[in-house]
Amino acid sequence: MDEIHVVDAFTDVAFKGNPAAVVLMQKERPPSWMQRVAAEMRHSETAFVVVGDGRRRTGYPLRWFTPVAEVDLCGHATLAAAHVLGGRSEFITRRSGRLSCVAEGGWVEMDFPADVLDPVPASGELSQPFGDVTIEAATRGKDDLLVQVPHEEEVRGLKPDFAGIAALSRELSVRGVIVTARQGERAFVSRCFYPEVGVPEDPVTGSAHCTLATWWSPLLGVTEMMAEQASPRGGRIRLRLSDNRVHLGGQAVGVLRGELLV
């Protein structure tokens, strides 16, 4: 039978951070089955890992699903999968290449691709779904729109219009919107919204930090940063930018383990 785990990612405290389901499969399963399991679990992401047939030697096939759609890259569910597997894990993905993870000393470090950013005019249209905020700058990455505001209090106090964010995401053909601000000399804060793919606000978004690290590194003048995602559950991410790769570090806590009966 296939194992299923629930792991709280990017936290060292249970019921904080971002919960992800991890399904360890003995063989490949149809995407339609994976989508139904993800809809049943109702986490922002469920990771599906093929572990049978000695996969640790060659790399584990890995896919991610929200309750309503498959996505190309997910950080917190990858962290959760690496936490469950332990040690060094190599994942083979459909569109994000080969991802390496190391679980050691209570932390998981993930090696992800840095994003490629295209500037976007900081128009008033971008602030409409977020109320009374000032957009200092904006950029578009591979998956998300990023907007920068002047103060971290604005990020924490956002009152998002999810329907407006979904409409903006459709208009710009992006997965969702990241809102971010500086937090001291070597850190930043963010919140991430993905209503168009069934996740109104994601508690902690590892993949978004490929965009965030690429954005903030030249602005802060550093290659190592700490990040806080200021959702109600909250979480912290350790970041290092090197050779067009983003190394994301996070902790994780397992909260459930069982078997799928179907």
Q: Any idea which residues carry the catalytic annotation? A: 45
Cα–Cα distance measured from residue 47 to residue 59, given in angstroms and rounded to the nearest whole number: 15
At 185, which amino acid appears?
E
Nearest one of 151, 126, 138 to 230, comparing CA atoms:
151
Helices and strands in the chain, H and E counts: 6, 18
- Are 72 and 44 in contact, with CB atoms under 8 Å apart? no
Rounded to whole angstroms, how far apart are CA atoms 144 and 173? 9
Residue 8 identity: D
**Long-range contacts of 54-59, Cβ-Cβ distance < 8 Å, separation of 24 or more:** 56/85, 56/89, 58/90, 59/90, 59/91, 59/92, 59/98
d(CA 91, CA 101): 8
Contacting residues for 42 by C-beta, under 8 A, at least 6 apart: 67
Burial class (CB in 10 A: 0-12, 13-18, 19+), 256: exposed
Residue type, 111: D
Nearest CA to 61 out of 98, 102, 86, 112 is that of: 98
